[in-house]
């Protein structure tokens, strides 16, 4: 198997530079103040297909022989890798098949098809889709493009490391999400072979720490499937090629949970005006939650992708508003008589709380015959405002409870 080296990454950069956008790597003043260290964001979510994945896909495609190009390529993916392969294969005139799990969101299927690939829906999971892709590879003679466990793919992802050395010459640390390990392997090799003092930290979802478990075991092991909003790094087994590279070059691996990732998505959206998917926000979540001690080092955080389902984003925004106290739901018990509801709304108006939704019900919640209940959802300015609203309701004699 071909090895990944600084030279292979430099060759990959020369090979793909005409087609790959050098994404911005900007200093975030707000986040730097928040985490008390100089923090730069490498915005790979701004690539043409919305993630870093097209770097490795394109590098692999450009190494194919004429015979391999004519036979076409095949890949298995539920998202970013699929789109990277589809887009660049189409641009090069190479026929691409992408096997995606049956449950893949329609928006991702449509995006992959729009880039020119033939999409085959198969299996209940990525693993079943991958098995089908490998079967078709043998049957049809296509070249299989692995999402992470391939030297040319890893070298392509490693071109990010070379860009970081130019964009942040005094870089002292980098924090990178880990799925199968292709991204961090390439970046870490590029950085460490140039400057071994640069600290490299990997971040995995708490529910699927496959690389962490592989490092502990000394070999890749398959862990149980779990659902996570960081679906782009929800990998059950580390790569045979990536594990030795991670073991050699990565200083530390930490984990973050879904709530921490969701908070980081909202933070990026609100403060940086940039949209990240779950995997794309995982690295920032680790820094904000102080999962690793970076000792005021000049740090780059990888925002590796921005292909998030809009309905999931809506849920994350709503939950974030609730956590910040800017969205409040109260269950208020009223006397079942004319004017009771008017009194309540007058108090809320006086306290400048905006009513978003009300549910008025007499038959449920176990109230007495002389009472009624209203659930009211309010927009507020935060915890101090909520305290003032609560005080005003108590002063007026209302019995209420907060609904989480």
pLDDT tens digits along 139-161:
999 999 999 999 999 999 999 99
Fold of the 54-144 domain: Rossmann fold (3.40.50)
| pTM for the full predicted model | 0.88
Of residues 172 and 383, more confidence is placed in 172
Judge whether 6-52+150-319 and 325-402 match in fold.
no
Fold of the 325-402 domain: Alpha-Beta Plaits (3.30.70)
The C-alpha R_g of the chain, in whole angstroms, comes to 25
pLDDT at 187 over 90: yes
Give per-residue pLDDT as tens, 245-282. Answer: 999 999 999 999 999 999 999 999 999 999 999 999 99
Give per-residue pLDDT as tens, 298-350. Answer: 999 999 999 988 888 998 888 888 887 889 999 999 888 888 889 999 999 99
269, 320 Cβ separation under 8 angstroms: no
pLDDT at 244 over 90: yes
How many C-beta neighbours within 10 Å does residue 82 have?
30
Strand order in the sheet with 118-121: 118-121, 96-100, 73-76, 143-144
Secondary-structure class of domain 6-52+150-319 per CATH: alpha beta
Tokens of 47: 């690539």
Q: What are phi and psi of 367, to 5 degrees?
A: -80, 160
Q: How confident is the model at residue 124 (pLDDT cuts 50, 70, 90)?
A: confident
Domain residues of the chain, as ranges? 6-52+150-319, 54-144, 325-402
């Amino acid at each position: 198997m071909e090895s990944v080296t600084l030279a292979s990454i430099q060759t990959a950069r020369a090979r793909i530079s005409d087609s790959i956008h050098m994404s911005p790597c900007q200093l975030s003043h707000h986040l730097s103040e928040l985490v008390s260290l100089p923090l730069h964001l490498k915005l790979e979510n701004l690539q043409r297909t919305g993630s870093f994945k097209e770097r490795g896909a394109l590098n692999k495609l450009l190494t194919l022989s004429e015979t391999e190009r004519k036979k076409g390529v095949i890949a298995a993916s539920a998202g970013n890798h699929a789109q990277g392969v589809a887009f660049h294969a189409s641009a090069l005139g190479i026929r691409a098949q992408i096997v995606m799990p049956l449950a893949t969101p329609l928006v991702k299927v449509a995006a992959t098809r729009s880039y020119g690939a033939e999409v085959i829906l198969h299996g209940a999971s990525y693993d079943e889709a991958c098995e089908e892709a490998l079967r078709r590879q043998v049957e049809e003679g296509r070249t299989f493009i692995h999402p992470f466990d391939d030297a040319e793919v890893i070298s392509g992802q490693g071109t990010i490391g070379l860009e970081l050395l130019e964009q942040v010459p005094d870089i002292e640390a980098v924090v990178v999400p880990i799925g199968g390990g292709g991204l961090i392997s390439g970046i870490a090799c590029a950085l460490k072979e140039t400057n071994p003092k640069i600290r490299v930290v990997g971040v995995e979802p708490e529910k699927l720490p496959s690389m962490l478990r592989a490092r502990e075991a000394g070999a890749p092991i398959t862990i149980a499937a779990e659902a996570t909003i960081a679906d782009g790094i929800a990998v059950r087994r580390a790569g045979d090629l990536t594990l030795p590279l991670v073991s050699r070059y990565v200083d530390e691996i930490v984990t973050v949970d879904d709530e921490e990732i969701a908070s980081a998505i909202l933070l990026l959206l609100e403060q940086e005006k940039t949209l990240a998917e779950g995997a794309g926000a995982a690295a920032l979540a680790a820094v904000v939650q102080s999962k690793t001690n970076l000792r005021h080092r000049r740090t780059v955080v990888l925002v590796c992708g921005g292909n998030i389902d809009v309905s999931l984003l809506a849920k994350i925004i709503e939950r974030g508003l609730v956590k910040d106290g800017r969205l409040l739901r109260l269950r208020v018990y009223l006397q079942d008589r004319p004017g009771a509801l008017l009194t309540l709304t007058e108090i809320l108006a006086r306290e400048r709380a905006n009513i978003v939704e009300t549910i008025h019900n007499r038959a449920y919640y176990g109230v007495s015959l002389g009472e009624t209940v209203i659930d009211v959802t309010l927009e507020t300015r935060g915890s101090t405002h909520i305290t003032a609203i609560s005080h005003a309701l108590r002063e007026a004699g209302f019995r209420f409870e907060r609904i989480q």
